[in-house]
Amino acid sequence: MARKSFSVLFFIKKGKLLKNGEAPVCMRITVNGCMVDISIKRSCPVNLWNQAKENSKGKDRMSVELNHYLEITRSRIHQIYRELETSDKVITVDLVRKLYYGVDENNKTLLQVFREHNEQSRKLIGKDFVSKTVQRYETTTRYLEEFIKREYQLSDIALNNLEANFISKFDAFLKIEKGCAQNSAITRLKNLKKIIRIALENDWIKKDPFAYYRFKLEETDPEFLTMDEIKIILAKEFTIKRVEQVRDVFIFCVFTGLAFSDVKDLSPEHLVRDNKGELWIRKNRQKTKVMCNIPVLPVAASMLEKYKNVAECTGKLLPVLCNQRMNSYLKEIADVCGIHKNLSTHTARHSYATSICLANGVSMENVAKMLGHADTSVTKHYARVLDQNILKDMQKVNSCLSELTL
């Protein structure tokens, strides 16, 4: 029978001092010649560390607390090992580490629940979810997996081991390591919060790590095109057919307010004529499932006419590329047209709300209906108060006051 070996060693990392000048304390677990180092989230001044005794030789309160914590941790690891011996399980260093973090077969883990949610969501694409939403959840899962490996040296973490600082640390990881802006990081955290809510509803977790966490979204000011800029893009001639098609799809969105996912799926069945013969787009928004009713303006109608053969071949009204390629071509179009704005497919939607509708006197309520918003509070994010609107309103005021004299 092979001889079993097991040991626990505490040491400090002198080469990776913390900002306070102290060295982080680590624990090395060795099982049958295999070892793993675990950060125990404690530190000690280098000059106070006694490696022979594996503790601090200081007499102050911090040193006493550190030594007490090390004793408890060592005892806990030995207890885990003894329980594994009596259970006849194959003992590995990874299993000991997982049990130290509270991960075992009887406890639900974060990534396990996240992946189950993603798998179920992917089956519901087209019903309760859109593909882009599921992709966001999958990306968040991937970021979490990377974060847990880096921060806890684990492949997963037990739900009941999640503390409030897990959220703040993951938030910092997203911004520092993944380069996420504030609102992008909040999106990832909201994905995580949904999984935590599922865990709470099923009693898989005892306390909510989000209980005292508040989301702070930054006010954004998305770009839109003025009517002069729209005219420049519309009038520009392109020798490359693919670039011309991207421009045409973009212009169609500018004059209809359709989001990329909606224009990509636009088919003849979404076109209807009213009793006066006027052409309308009637379609449920893919994102919210809210019905939008949009009159087809002449510019948009000309684009449909230009690509009528596309519908006959593909069943779709326009030749729409993937979003990434569309945005790449739009940046080229902006450069060629001398427009110093970061064009994207969503810029068209903002331009429709602002320069096409609100600038021409369309009410906020009607803009909301055409954009497929449930109420005007969402529409206000798209809308802008233009100087010309202010001037028009003040000219009305001036005409009313013209008879007044001092």
Question: What share of residues in the chain are helix, strand, coil (percent, to 5)?
Answer: 55, 10, 35
Domain residue limits at 385: 227-392
Same domain, 177 and 266: no
Where does a domain end: 65, 100, 135?
A: 100
How many domains would you assign to the chain?
3
Same domain, 94 and 235: no
pLDDT of residue 396: 66
How confident is the model over 289-310, as pLDDT tens digits?
778 888 999 999 999 999 988 7
Average pLDDT score over residue span 158-175: 89
Whole-number mean pLDDT of the chain? 86
CA distance 174 to 166: 12
Same domain, 10 and 144: no
Residue with tokens 């709300």: 353
Same domain, 246 and 381: yes
Same domain, 126 and 244: no
Average pLDDT score over residue span 120-146: 89
110 closest CA partner among 198, 217, 237, 172: 198
Q: Residue 84's pLDDT band (boundaries 50, 70, 90)?
A: confident
How confident is the model over 377-397, as pLDDT tens digits?
666 666 555 555 555 666 666
Same domain, 252 and 383: yes
Sign of the torsion angle spanned by Cα atoms 392, 394, 400, 404: negative
Same domain, 18 and 154: no
Reported pTM: 0.59
- State both tokens at 295: 């009159």
Same domain, 276 and 373: yes
E strand or H helix that includes residue 23: strand 23-31
